Structure 1
Amino acid sequence: MNTKTEALSIFLIENTSSFTADWLKQQDIRTGSHYSPDAPPEVMEKLKEQNGNYVKLVAQSLFQDEDEMRRCISDWTAQTAPERANSDTSLSEVTRNGGIFRSLILDYVEKFAEQSEHDITIKDLMIWVKKLNRTFDYVMETFTENFLEILLNRLSSQSNLINELSAPVITLTDEVGLLPIIGDIDTARAKSILETTLHQSTSTGISYLIIDLSGVVMVDTMVAHQIFQLIESLRLIGVKAILTGIRPEVAMTAVQLGLDFSEIHTENSLKRVIYTFARKLDISPA
């Protein structure tokens, strides 16, 4: 190992506390952020610990080969990215503070060059700066990748939950269920409705499912195809579907598109079909 590089690495590690203090002085108060000076004491202590470990990680990278540096950095960002993503810390704050950290590290390299007993040359400084920049660039690359993956997975889960909640099968009796569909239906939502409805219909053990379309303002060929597919799939699992609440404009559009609802049981209102089932099953409607 180069003696000068080893001395610089030791200098950075030995000055971890003062470095962290200098870094914290440059933080803005952003309530809720892990980087904010007003963060809870336990959060601040954790941040200081992480910052100290980060300094050591960067110091060690000065004498690591490329593969070893990447492995150590990947392990580090895989640990810290979830913690930042689970706080109110934004990616822009992470990027800003990464820039502050990089700038301070270079300041400390300059301090080392000024104080060192070694003969530090311009070439030495350029080698260190290039090495550090590669390390910091890889930190941001892997941190951003991990951070965004966490957020995208979270958005996907929330989207799936919203889609599931937007197509609930409401059990009216042991035999009859109601599926109210509201709003626009795109390909993704249509697929979600199909999967969720089949699962809920099977789990509840219903024999009839009323599909209420009174909240659907537009039907195109794709939507109609999905409705037909849903009805046919329900039939295959032993559930008879009944369409109700088809709005006049939707009916007109369906006719213009040449869509055939003749083989499907339809009713003109949800109230009427529920009343019919109430009489058939000898239930007193509220």
Structure 2
Amino acid sequence: MDTKTEALYKFLVDNATNFTDDWLKRQRVIKGSDYSADAPPEVMGRVKEQNSNYVRLVAKSLFQTEEEMKETISAWTSQTAADRIKSKTDLTEVAWNSGVFRRVYWEYVQKFVKQAEMEITLDDVFSWEAKINYTLDYVFESFIVVFMEILMNRLASQATLIKELSAPVISLTKEVGLLPLIGEIDTTRAKGLMESTLTQSIDARINTLIVDLSGVVMVDTMVAHQIFKLMDALKLLGVQTIVTGIRPEVAQTAVQLGIDFSDIMTEGNLQNVIKKFIQS
């Protein structure tokens, strides 16, 4: 590392705290954001520490190889992206602050150039520009990748949870389970229902599953087909299925659509099933 680059690095590191103070002065008031000017003291303290460390990491890239810089930055962005997700800070605010950080960074480089008691050429400045801006671009790029990965994983987990909650297999005894279905069942939900029910039935180790349709107001051919497939799959697993609570309008629709429930064990209501299979 040449003398001038070393001096710039030391200047940036020594002024990391002052840099962060200047950066914070440009923050807007945005409710719930870590970057907000009125963020709680504990949040502001953590953000100040992260930002000061960010200043030092970018300065360090002046004498790092590309591979070394990416390894260093990736560790920082992984932690920071997780914090921003936790605080519900959106990407719009992250992007805005990325621009603010870049502007302040170059203001400090300009301060160094003016204060330094050494001959600094345009070649020196453009050499620093290539390093610093490449690093800042990589920071934003890697931050977005980690941020979106965490966000998509959370959405996937929530979607799985919603599916499970929309088709919960309730253990009535060690051997008997209940699947209460409520609301409209479209093709997508019916497919998810099959996957979730099979998994839950195996996990619960039941041998009888009561499928209660009293909360279902409509069944079309495709949905009925999925229900039949579910029962066939359960049968292969050694689980007997009993359908209960078929509403009159659902029964009428089934007849009109030519849906045949004759091979399926049915009961008029859940109480009857409980009496036969639970209390016996």
TMscore range, shorter length: 0.7 to 0.9
**Structure 1 match to 2:261:** 261
Give 5+ residue unaligned stretches, structure 1: none
Provide Cα deviations, 1:75-99, integer angstroms capped at 9, x if missing partner: 2112221122112322222221111
Residue type at the aligned position of 1:95: A
User: Partners in 1 of 2:278 and 2:164 — Cα distance?
Assistant: 29
* Distance 1:58-1:202 versus aligned 2 partners, 3 A rule: closer
Counterparts in 2 of 1:188 and 1:133: CA distance versus 1, 3 Å? farther
1:133-212 equivalences in 2 (<5 Å): 133-172=133-172, 176-186=176-186, 189-212=189-212
Specify the alignment match of 2:120 in structure 1: 120
> What CA distance in whole angstroms lies between the structure 2 residues aligned with 1:91 and 1:250?
47
Tell me the equivalent position of 1:18. Answer: 18
RMSD: 2.6
Whether contact under 8 Å (2:20, 2:52) holds in the other structure is yes
CA separation of 1:78 and 1:24: change in aligned 2, threshold 3 A: same
One-letter amino acid of the counterpart of residue 86, structure 2? N
TM-score by length of 2: 0.86
Encode CA deviations 1:14-60: one digit per residue, 9 max, x unaligned: 11121111011111233432223333333322222211111111111
Aligned residues of 2:208 and 2:240 also touching (Cα < 8 A): yes
Tell me the distance in 1 between the aligned counterparts of 2:96 and 2:209. Answer: 54
User: Could you say if the C-alpha distance between residues 282 and 257 of structure 1 is closer, same or farther in structure 2, counting changes exceeding 3 Å?
Assistant: closer
CA distance in 1, matches of 2:122, 2:247: 78
Q: Structure 1 residues 3, 241: CA separation in 2 closer, same or farther (over 3 Å shift)?
A: same
Aligned partners of 1:105 and 1:276: how far apart in 2? 72
Q: Deviations over 1:105-135 (max 9, x none)?
A: 0111111222222222333322322322211
Gaps of 5+ in 2: none
Cα drift, residue 196 of structure 1: 3.1
Q: Which digits, 9 at most, give the CA deviation of each residue in 1:239-266, with x for residues without a partner?
A: 3212234455545654565543331123
Distance (whole Å) between structure 1 residues aligned to residue 277 and residue 127 of structure 2: 86
Secondary structure at the counterpart of residue 62 of structure 1:
helix
What secondary structure sits across from 2:63 in the alignment? coil
1:60 is aligned to 60
Residue 70 (str. 1) matches residue 70 (str. 2): yes
Cα distance in 1 for partners of 2:65, 2:240 equals: 67
Whether contact under 8 Å (2:214, 2:246) holds in the other structure is yes
Instruction: Give secondary structure in 2 for the equivalent of 1:39.
Output: coil
Is 1:4 aligned to 2:4, yes or no? yes
